[in-house]
Amino acid sequence: MAVEHSAGALAGKVALVTGAGRGIGRAIAQRLARDGALVGVHYGHSETAALEAVVEIRAEGGRAFALGARLGVPGDAEAVFAAFDAGVRGEGEAGAPGAPGGLDGRGERGERGERGERGEPSEADARGVGGVRGVLDILVNNAGVSGSGPVGRATPEVFDRMMAVNAKAPFFLVQQALPRMRDGGRVINVSSLASRRAFPESLAYAMSKGALDTMTLCLAKELAGRGITVNAIGPGFIETDMNARRRETPQDRAALAARSAFGRIGSPADVADVVAFLASDDARWITGQYLDVSGGTDL
C-alpha cells in the first residue's frame, strides 16, 4: 500500500540531498520524501543505487528524481544545480505528484530555462512548476569521502581530495543554492564526530569536517535575516559502506557498538530522523548548531 505524503510536515517543499544513493544520504532522501518533500537524489558515481532509491520513494507514494554530478572537480556545484533545475522542471512536466520526472527517473526531460548572469533562476523558475512553489527549500550536504590516514602517511593528493569534496563542494553548493532558496529554508551539513574528537587516524578527513562546522556557524549568522537555518549533525559509527572495514569481524562490531551508550552501531535511519526534524518548521528556532547524533559515543 502506498504511503500518503500530501499531509506531511514537508508537503510542498523541495529538497536536494547530495550523496543520496546509499547509506545515510539514501535514508535522508527517503525520510524527507516520506514527509512530503520532492527530493533530488544526487549521486557522484553510484547511478544505479540512486535510481533504485528513486524507485523505492515513488513506490511509497513520494516524489523524487535522480541527478548525477561528480563533486571535488572544477564546476561541480554548477553541474549539480544544472541537473537539479532540470529535474524539478521534469517533475512539473510529468504532471501529477508521484509521476516520474522523465522516462528513466533522472528528471532530464525539458530544456533549461533562461538564466541570469550569475545563474539565478528565471522568474518563471521562481514561480514554480507542477504545483511546487519556488525552487529549493532544503539543502542537505551529505556527500563526503574518508580514509585520509595519519599525518605521516598523508599525501597532497589525498588531502586536496578531502578538502575538495568535504569542504569546498558544500561551500559552493550553498552559494549556488541561495539564489534558488526560499526564505525560511534549511541548510543541513552532515559533519562527523571526528571534528569534535581526537581522530589522528584520519586527520585530513577530520580537518575537512572541522571546516564544514565553521561554515555552518558563519552561514547561520549571515542567513538568519532570511529565516534560513543552518545546522550541522555529527553522526558517530553508522552502519554504512564508508566504514565497513572497521566492522569486518564480530570483535570489530562489538568494539564499535560498545562505544555507544546504547550498546549498538547506529543505523542510517537514526541520522535521517534528526535531519527530518531540522528540516521541519519545528526546528525554526535552532541555527548555528552542531548536533551530536552518535548515540552517546564515548560518554
Find cell 523524487 and name the residue: 64
Q: What is the SS3 assignment for 200?
A: helix
What residues are labeled active site?
Answer: 191-192, 205, 209
Q: Which pairing describes strands 229-235 and 290-293: parallel, antiparallel, or unpaired?
A: parallel
**Measured at the alpha carbon of residue 188, what is the angle toward residues 3 and 108, in degrees to the nearest 5?**
60
Closest CA to 15 of 276, 214, 287: 276
Q: Can you spell out the DSSP letters for 81-147?
A: HHHHHHHHHHHHHH-STTS-SSTTSS---S------TT-PPPHHHHH-BTTB-SSEEEEEE------
Could you give the CA distance from residue 70 to residue 93 in angstroms, rounded to a whole number?
Answer: 26
Helices (H), the chain: 23-34, 47-59, 76-94, 123-127, 156-163, 169-177, 203-223, 250-258, 268-279
